[in-house]
Structure 1
Amino acid sequence: MRSLLLPAMLLALLPSCQRNAPPAPAATSSARVAPPSAAQRADGFAFAETGITELQARMGRGELSSRALTQAYFDRIAAIDDAGPRLNAVIETNADALKEADARDAERKAGRVRGPLHGVPLLLKDNIDATPMVNSAGSLALAAHRPKTDAFLVARLREAGAVILGKTNLSEWANFRSSRSASGWSARGGQTRNPYALDRSPCGSSSGTGSAIAASLAAAGIGTETDGSIICPSSVTGLVGIKPTVGLVSRNGIIPISHSQDTAGPMARSVADAAVLLSAIVGRDESDAATAESSGRALFDYHARLDPQALKGARIGVLRKAMGFHPAADAAFERSLAAMRGAGAELLDVEIASAGQWNDPEFQMLLYEFKSGVENYLARSQAPVQTLAGLIDFNRRHAGEELVFFGQELFEQAQAKGSLDEAAYIEARNKARRLAGAEGIEATLKAQQLDALVAPATAPAWPIDPIHGDHFLGEGYGVAAVAGTPSVTVPMGEHFGLPMGIVFMGTAWSEPRLIQLAYAFEQKTHARKPPQFLATVDLEPKKAAPPAKPASP
């Protein structure tokens, strides 16, 4: 997703996602299962809101198997995604998932546990290669595209013992086809809905991952971001999202927009779960040159560094000029600042002198890099369509399915660009990175010797509106996206039941510190609430109960 190319929102006007039918229910097991929590009882699903550590503990005690857990999530997808609220968040399930779960159970029985993700089912955004599934970016042009190998991060997850449950829907081409593209809509997958209120936007482009994990359709998930596509959907669906430093996580096997800004990252219901997931996917990959810079800088066990007292003594820069786009977000942000002060943080109001000046050069850079990157990906993965011109032609020939709601002017603008050797591209790339990075976030952090910057992530989720498009009001995360530096969003409150997130941003490779601060904030505030799958937002003011009548004499 790009914050300056804001999409038109569409209702679920296309059919539900076409995917493999979930496997048949597993045979009844005699294994004991721990009593559900209050949140799980209220939801009616045994694993609603259950974290990775608890799932791992249950499997370690023999109370739960990976097969039973995987089947439970398949049943949950059938009940919540296909039927019931019909979130339309999962675009395809993995036909091999139960085999993977059985293999992890056999390893556990033999005494081999690979780590904290052993046997834990996860979902991936549908722009990440994962065999044997399709990787389509939501486009019908790639609906038959089944890559022969896993993306580097998927291989890392499988090495860590995770079970790949399936793929999630996304804003088609990660919201880089039209300036009016629909957050959460793709021609292949239809419209994803927000589980907090089904008529509200899930934001893009990792919308399916956000809605799915918020609704406990898997233990956690992977999204991708160019500019906002992890932070925004995480914020509006009450999740923790980590957008890593570009180069911490390999992009090999991910359908690209920009090699300067693209990254994958975890989306989870807690900082602890996100930290576990991030630890599994980082690492140097010879096929992605950007990861060479992570050598010696990456801490691979982020979970071990979690500290509920991390805010004590921390110096936090407050970006007040990133406020003002929604009064409820401002009020929740002020409460968050008070909570951080109460936890011992020192807060300083700061400004980024170059704020917003990177928008136009970023856009020009992305047009160039998309054309080059997507064609390289299509050729390497032997996709059915090999060029951007071919994609444009496909969409024209299938306009009744692909172009019925919005066009492909960004594709056409990118097609008109030249090579990455052109002076115009090099100037735009250098200017965007300098204004957002060296003269932006990095300069601001250094000048005040700050641990992090904070801002409201975005406004509460806006209504899905196919006529007028997105009602996107503003964001606080863009500087880190363009600079290629890390950001972490954590729930900070709600407005009429709609979640809102705060975003912590830091210098390159500062994930350990940001995760510490985010965890301490989370433990101080406990702002996340599970979704209720409401048809719409309840706007009726809450009336106080009438006073009790005095007792009769």
Structure 2
Amino acid sequence: MKINVVKLTIKKAASLMEQHAFSSYDLTKECLHRIEAMNQKGPALQAVLEVNPGALDAARRLDQERAEGTVRSLLHGIPLLLKDNIATGDDMHTSAGSFALRDSFASRDASLVRRLREAGAVFVGKANMTEWANFISYTMPDGFSARGGRVKNYFHPDFPVGGSSSGCAAGVAAGFALAAVGTETSGSIVKPSVHSSLVGLKPSIGLVSRSGIIPIARTQDTAGPMAKTAEDAAILLDIMAGCDSEDLATVSADVWKRQRAAHSYDCRREHCRIGVLRQFFAHITPSHKSLIEKKALQRMEDNGHQIIEVGNFAPYENIYDENTPDYLGEEVLIYEFKASLESYLRNWTRERTFLTLKELIQYNELHRDQAIPYGQEVFYRAEAAAESGYDSIYQKARERDYRVCVTCGLEKALQENKLDLLAFPHFYGCTVPARAGWPALTLPVGIDFQQGATALTLVGDQYDDWRLLQMASVLERLLN
């Protein structure tokens, strides 16, 4: 049987393997073949930094388990990509795309990797990414890393890829894996998922452990699934979510289990009240606006869903007007980065070559042409903030972000309009759920052959991730 990995979903692949239409070995081999043919050759997508030398052996072992009657989960034998800032205690490096950590190995699997392995996932490789999750330079292009070059969009090399989980997105779109795990601090799952026409979920902070992920900021970092359907994303989230003693932000098992039980993603039919944030439409192209209006919003309304115009969304000026008193700056990320990164370097690297941000800065300066072709201004700011007593600035910024994004933003809009969901066009406004710690999900709408793909970014209540996935699955059926 010829395997069309570009269109194949996790759910369908699990069913076909159960029917013995093909094996995990066959499926993994096809993904690796596509990487060989398209990653550095052909269109040279540069979406994968390295393949897993143990992938086929893992697939063979999982096939043997299936033959003996053991199927661990729907992920049993499913090939996945991992972003290169997620630790794996195997023969693959964990470098965040950087030249400095190009030879670095993690001492063990990140918590989410351990969960996925136990569920039977096969990791085919580490995905390229915007280096250091786009937290080293203000001029670095999306998708570029010193270690892997620049990721290209699968649909057209001139289309944007977004950052920083760009390799994950391009890789899944190209059939290098059936799904991927990316990470986000502010838009890094959402943006590349929009550009590659995927369902990308940035979960509520605390559902998925961050232990073993090269960090930016503990208050906003999370890992999340990037998949072809909302159902596939839910399959991944079910396995990834849970408590971890190494990440105090993880909510109790009782909370996330109650959420999962209360909102099955088996997609019972229900009509949603969807709040559309009109202010943000000023930033999208006319062709994307037309796709969203006609292919998505009109079709939803025609099928009984209520489209509610939300005309005045309080955080809008805080994002796009630098003169506002509550302009949303980067103080929180700048403050939290150094301590978070140094904790990872101490506790997760085998070699312990670098233990401080200052050591990385000095190394980059000595290897400027190879390591930092776009500079490292963000690293300088983070080091300076730690040395100059930034505490009061940080606390005020945290209070501002909560007030603007939660109290006056998402919470107010959902409650006052009695909404199930808020809908941003494309990825505009994604910093709001990122700073709030609320879930955000991309719902692909279509592709314009001049401008690339577009989507709606849907936001639901905090810790209501599975209901958001359920509603997204209902809506994606309408959009076909």
After TM superposition, the structure 1 = structure 2 runs for residues 235-384 of structure 1, keeping only pairs within 5 Å, are 235-292=194-251, 295-298=254-257, 299-300=259-260, 304-307=264-267, 309-310=269-270, 312=271, 314-325=272-283, 326-335=285-294, 336-350=296-310, 351-357=312-318, 360-382=327-349, 383-384=352-353
Q: CA deviation at 1:423?
A: 1.9
Aligned residue for 1:100, secondary structure, equals helix
**Higher CA-based Rg:** 1
Contact 2:263 2:466 (C-alpha < 8 Å) held by counterparts? no
1:411 paired with 2:369, answer no
1:134 corresponds, among 72, 90, 93, to 93
Q: CA deviation at 1:293?
A: 5.1
CA distance in 2, matches of 1:110, 1:510: 38
Contact 2:241 2:256 (C-alpha < 8 Å) held by counterparts? no
Amino acid at match of 2:448: H
1:111 paired with 2:69, answer yes
- CA separation of 1:443 and 1:107: change in aligned 2, threshold 3 A: same
User: TM-score, structure 2 length as denominator?
Assistant: 0.93
Amino acid at match of 1:345: H
CA distance in 2, matches of 1:73, 1:424: 48
Amino acid at match of 1:244: P
Amino acid at match of 1:352: F
Amino acid at match of 1:78: E
Q: CA deviation at 1:421?
A: 7.9
Q: Which residue of 2 aligns with 1:209?
A: 168
Amino acid at match of 1:365: V
- CA separation of 1:156 and 1:421: change in aligned 2, threshold 3 A: farther
Contact 1:323 1:330 (C-alpha < 8 Å) held by counterparts? yes
Question: Can you list the C-alpha shifts for 1:407-437, whole angstroms capped at 9, x where unaligned?
Answer: 1111101110127982221221121122111
- CA separation of 1:271 and 1:224: change in aligned 2, threshold 3 A: same
Q: Which residue of 2 aligns with 1:546?
A: none
Aligned residue for 2:245, secondary structure, equals coil
Q: Which residue of 2 aligns with 1:508?
A: 462
Q: Which residue of 2 aligns with 1:81?
A: 39
Q: CA deviation at 1:395?
A: 1.1
Contact 2:131 2:145 (C-alpha < 8 Å) held by counterparts? yes
Please identify, of 133-142 and 412-421, the stretch whose mean Cα deviation from structure 2 is larger: 412-421
1:70 paired with 2:70, answer no
Contact 2:267 2:474 (C-alpha < 8 Å) held by counterparts? yes
User: TM-score, structure 1 length as denominator?
Assistant: 0.81
Contact 1:141 1:384 (C-alpha < 8 Å) held by counterparts? no
After TM superposition, the structure 1 = structure 2 runs for residues 152-231 of structure 1, keeping only pairs within 5 Å, are 152-231=111-190
Contact 2:234 2:466 (C-alpha < 8 Å) held by counterparts? no
Contact 2:422 2:458 (C-alpha < 8 Å) held by counterparts? yes
CA distance in 2, matches of 1:146, 1:180: 28
Aligned residue for 2:385, secondary structure, equals coil
CA distance in 1, matches of 2:123, 2:6: 18
CA distance in 2, matches of 1:257, 1:439: 26
Aligned residue for 1:323, secondary structure, equals helix
Q: CA deviation at 1:439?
A: 2.1
Amino acid at match of 1:412: Y
- CA separation of 1:152 and 1:300: change in aligned 2, threshold 3 A: farther
Q: CA deviation at 1:289?
A: 0.7
Q: CA deviation at 1:356?
A: 4.2
Structure 1 residues without counterparts, runs of 5 or longer = 1-32, 37-44, 459-474, 527-553
CA distance in 2, matches of 1:516, 1:478: 23
State the identity as a percent. Answer: 40
Aligned residue for 2:5, secondary structure, equals coil
CA distance in 2, matches of 1:295, 1:91: 38
CA distance in 2, matches of 1:287, 1:222: 19
Amino acid at match of 2:433: A
Q: Which residue of 2 aligns with 1:521?
A: 475
CA distance in 2, matches of 1:329, 1:282: 34
Aligned residue for 2:456, secondary structure, equals strand
- CA separation of 1:166 and 1:512: change in aligned 2, threshold 3 A: same
Q: CA deviation at 1:47?
A: 2.6
CA distance in 2, matches of 1:385, 1:301: 44
Question: Can you list the C-alpha shifts for 1:8-66, whole angstroms capped at 9, x where unaligned?
Answer: xxxxxxxxxxxxxxxxxxxxxxxxx3xx5xxxxxxxx6333111112111211122111
